Amino acid sequence: MHRWYALQDIPSDLGPTVVTLGNFDGVHRGHREVLSRVVREARDRGATPVAVTFDPHPVAVLYPERAPAQIMSLEQRLEVLDSVGVGASLVLHFTREFAQQTPEEFVETTFVEALGAVAVVVGKDTRFGVRNSGDVGTLTELGEKHGFDVIALDDIGEAAPEGRRWSSTQLRAEILDGKVRHAAEILGRPHRVSGTVVHGDHRGRELGFPTANLSPDHAGLVPSDGVYAGWLVRLDLEPGAVDRTLPAAISIGTNPTFDGHQRRVEAYALDRTDLDLYGERVAMDFVSHLRPTLRFDSIQALIDQMSDDVARCREILSATVPA
């Protein structure tokens, strides 16, 4: 997949494109419906499918006090866009100056001149341009003027619980509430947090449950404190490699039994005490919430609970196929 971080990066001989526009935070099932249509339209028209997105999130620039927590990092977003078959992603650096473009200026500069779009696929609630003054009607008029088709899709998510739309807002709320099963329904895959394994307090190894601790600069929205069943994915190993994806018990919290203060994300690969993961890039894919973080009166009570957690994780994951 091609990645462009400015209009100047786009090759002049790109040829025709089919384009979509959005933040795509989470790249959830609603986004995937739009992206799948982009890929199909591009194939039928002999064009390149392109996703246009922004970094940072426009709300974080225009109204920082209202900025939503990011579900994924930009790199995670681009990796998932790549996995759904988009041929290229254009990341536009969003600034206050950029936000002053009129809808026509944005369309002419980005869709027409830079990308040579023959079709633009968007949701019916899409807004763009200064003060969000452009909508699907505006885009359709501009398409007629500049010679590209506009395909506006109905709200996606009729299969969602209670008929709700699949949305990044709902997804964010589910993750922050620890409802990772619900989040996976919206995503169409488990929610992922990734980073580099660093040294912790080594208490897990002393207790018989050595854990891989994520570095503080990890990527992905961290669910609420608690213990989860999930998968530990070793990103530095090739897909399909032995021991790349391991069943795991994932813990998020401050280790209150030991009067900890630093919030940590750590995972114990079930029944594995032989792994040396320090310095490796790993991902933690969340499957199911087991329990909240608790403070135990004794080390033995903690060990007993951890043993029960591992047994429950084993049962849950034995019936689950990793993403």
Predicted confidence (pLDDT) at residue 157 exceeds the cutoff of 70: no
Report pLDDT for 4: 98
Report pLDDT for 223: 98
Report pLDDT for 313: 97
In eight-state DSSP terms, residue 288 is E
Report pLDDT for 295: 87
**Predicted confidence band of residue 131 (pLDDT cuts 50, 70, 90):** very high
pLDDT digits (tens, 9 = 90+) for 168-202: 999 999 999 999 999 999 999 999 999 999 997 76
Report pLDDT for 237: 96
Helix, strand and coil content of the chain, in percent to the nearest 5, comes to 35, 25, 40
From residue 198, alpha-carbon distances to 1, 217, 264 in Å are 31, 11, 11
pLDDT digits (tens, 9 = 90+) for 225-249: 999 999 999 999 999 899 999 999 9
**Predicted confidence band of residue 150 (pLDDT cuts 50, 70, 90):** very high
From residue 77, alpha-carbon distances to 10, 91, 103 in Å are 20, 11, 25
pLDDT digits (tens, 9 = 90+) for 24-52: 999 999 999 999 999 999 999 999 999 99
Write the DSSP string, 147-175.
T-EEEEEPPS-TTSGGGPPP-HHHHHHHH
Look over the chain and give the mean of its residue pLDDT values, rounded to a whole number: 93
The burial of 191, by beta-carbon neighbours within 10 Å (0-12 exposed, 13-18 middle, 19 or more buried), is given as: buried
Predicted confidence (pLDDT) at residue 312 exceeds the cutoff of 90: yes
Give yes or no for a contact between 190 and 323, defined as CB atoms under 8 angstroms apart: yes
The top-scoring range by mean pLDDT among 156-165, 185-194, 259-268 is: 185-194
pLDDT digits (tens, 9 = 90+) for 193-226: 999 999 977 676 777 799 999 999 999 999 999 9
**pTM of the full structure:** 0.91
Looking at this protein, which amino acid is placed at residue 25?
D
Alpha carbons 56 and 79: distance in angstroms, whole number: 17
Mean pLDDT lowest for which of 71-80, 106-115, 173-182, 259-268? 259-268
Strand partners, 122: 152
Report pLDDT for 107: 98
Helices (H), the chain: 29-45, 58-62, 74-83, 103-106, 136-146, 168-176, 180-187, 203-207, 299-318
Residues 6+ apart with CB under 8 A from 122: 20, 21, 22, 34, 136, 139, 150, 151, 152, 153
Q: How far is CA 173 from the centre of its chain?
A: 14
Report pLDDT for 158: 46
Predicted confidence (pLDDT) at residue 83 exceeds the cutoff of 60: yes
Q: Of 230, 321, 310, 318, which is closest to residue 270 (Cα–Cα)?
A: 310
Report pLDDT for 261: 72
Report pLDDT for 262: 85
Alpha carbons 221 and 91: distance in angstroms, whole number: 21
